Structure 1
Amino acid sequence: MISYPCAKINLGLNIIGERSNGYHDLETVFYPIYSLHDTLEIKYMGEDFPSDTDCDLKITGNVIECNEQDNLVVKAYNLLASDFELPRVHAHLYKKIPSQAGLGGGSSDAAYMIKLLDERFRLNIGYAEMERYAAKLGADCAFFITSELSYATGLGDIISPVDGPKGNLNGYYIVIIKPDISISTKEAYQSIVPQKPLKCCKDIIRQPIETWKEALHNDFEIPIFKAHEELAAIKQTLYDLGAIYAQMSGSGSAIFGIFRIVPNGLEEQFPNTFIFSSKL
């Protein structure tokens, strides 16, 4: 059985408070990018197969620098196996979504693994319960259970429906640029002073997209752009190429731009860089 864990972008991201345990409360809108996705397949693993683990994971495509048994796909399997009687499985994950990008690739893989296991082995968990399981694996994992346009609060784990901007973005194109830069989310949070925005992102995205540039912000951009000026330069270049709106996704380092038409010369503007473009 195969599924296609999709990427996401954040439309606005505001850090509005800090908890006593050091974690932060935020507000953001998650927008799924279905055309940018990984591929995840699971199969039964026979009892005679020589594996020390119940979930044997193989990763191809983009390189992930971690032990495969530490991957969120395996953690998702182990989480469900603690409550359900699951057979041993082979899992094959083909990575296309770049890591450390703010695009949610690992979180998406985990959530889609939960959905695959639920469907393949008829666990009948239900979406609400799957979201609760997913939230245990990462703050934005719950969003990927439905992978539908959502407003997220709390740590990013409290998901609710939101109207728009689907009508606003129909017919537009997205360009995603991911340079070879790794961002320390911990350091980014340490540089932020939480503050409630003048207007919530879920209300701003209902406005015409032409108003977003002045109103829709990602609070991580200020400290991260200060530490990595090349990211600010990428955002400005996207505007120079005609983007109606551009923003860093999550804590980066991917920068996306929304265009009426895909600009020419992206490879020349961003050499040796991951570039993705698609119609929204």
Structure 2
Amino acid sequence: MVTFPNAKINIGLNIVGKRPDGFHNLESCFYPVGWADALEILPQTDWHHQVVSFTSSGLSIPGNQDSNLCLKAYRLLAEDFALPPVSIHLLKAVPIGAGLGGGSADAAFTIKALNQLFSLDISTENQQKYARSLGSDCAFFIENKPMYCFGKGDQFEETSLRLTGKWILLVNPGLHISTAEAYSGITPRVPTQDLRELLQKPIGQWRDFVKNDFEESLFKNHSVLPQIKAKIYDLGAQYASMSGSGSTVYGIFDHEPDPANNFQNSTVWKGELN
């Protein structure tokens, strides 16, 4: 079975409070985009070497392969179901640590693929429970549709926001921003205006109201980020923002954008939104 774990963007991101467990409460709109990895899961056929295997190609994945989220997702389900050994191969295309939820998507799509491959009949709600234990963003990718998100980013509320037919341009400068650095510049605060109401405004007005709290400090530390954002607006974007805690910056357009040679030394992806 082959699936394509896709990225997401944050439209607005407010850090509203520190939690007793050390995490932060946030509010954001998560929106799926088409930039995707490719994930293949196959039942083992060699009876002499029946062990779970994980391999990857494409972008290099840091850390020990044994701790990859795809393997963690398999082991999580194997605790509750009699899963046979599988071979997992991940073609990594979505940049890592880029504010796009790529690793979280890989984990969630592993859960969904195993559920389908072995007819486990796990409900959407229970798939989300498994996903939540793997990471804050993971549960979003089970339903994989636009959602207003709150809590750690793992609680959801339906949103009517749809950007079907709009184009998105994603620019990743290859800059690694650690979670520690991102949060070190944050003072949690409850915003004066409700994000859900702001997103009902015409997209052309978002520029003045819909903010990512991480931008203020990270733009000061990394001058390439505001430069990219300004260039995206110069190309005619209706709205531009950093996604998550960086370092990808995106723009939403009402036409297909032409990035030309504006973003040298960056990875660029564009596509239509659903």
Give me the TM-score of the superposition, normalised by structure 1: 0.94
- Is it true that 1:41 corresponds to 2:35 in the alignment? no
User: What secondary structure is seen at the aligned counterpart in 2 of 1:123?
Assistant: coil
Residues 1:114 and 2:111 are matched in the alignment: yes
* 1:231 lines up with 2:225 in the alignment: yes
Q: Which moved more, 1:6-15 or 1:57-66?
A: 57-66
Q: For structure 1, which runs of at least 5 residues remain unmatched after alignment?
A: none
> 1:46–1:88: 8 Å Cα contact kept in structure 2?
no
Letter in 1 for 2:97: Q
CA distance in 2: counterparts of 1:136 and 1:200, whole angstroms: 28
Q: 2:85 aligns with which of 80, 88, 94?
A: 88
CA distance in 2 between counterparts of 1:157 and 1:111 reads: 12
Question: AA paired with 1:245?
Answer: Y
Of 255, 265, 271, the residue aligned with 1:272 is: 265
Identical-residue share of aligned pairs (%): 44
Distance 1:32 1:188 in 2: 22
What is the DSSP-based 3-state SS (H/G/I as helix, E as strand, rest coil) of the residue aligned with 1:269?
coil
Residue identity matched to 1:260: D
Q: Which moved more, 1:102-111 or 1:92-101?
A: 92-101
Question: In structure 2, what is the equivalent of residue 252 of structure 1?
Answer: 246
Give the aligned length.
273
Whole-Å separation in 1 of the counterparts to 2:141 and 2:203: 25
Counterpart residue number, 2:7: 7
Q: C-alpha separation between the residues in 2 aligned to 1:181 and 1:275?
A: 13
Q: What residue identity is the alignment partner of 2:233?
A: Y
Deviation, 1:47, is: 5.1
Deviations 1:62-101 (A, max 9, x none): 2212222111000000111111111000011111111111
The one-letter amino acid of 2:271's match is S
Query: Displacement, 1:14?
Result: 0.2
**CA offsets 1:184-215 (integer angstroms, 9 cap, x no match):** 11221122111111222222222110110001
Amino acid at match of 1:38: D
Give the CA deviation at 1:49: 4.8
Question: Mind listing any 5+ residue stretches in structure 2 that lack a counterpart?
Answer: none
| 2-structure distance, mates of 1:224, 1:263 | 26
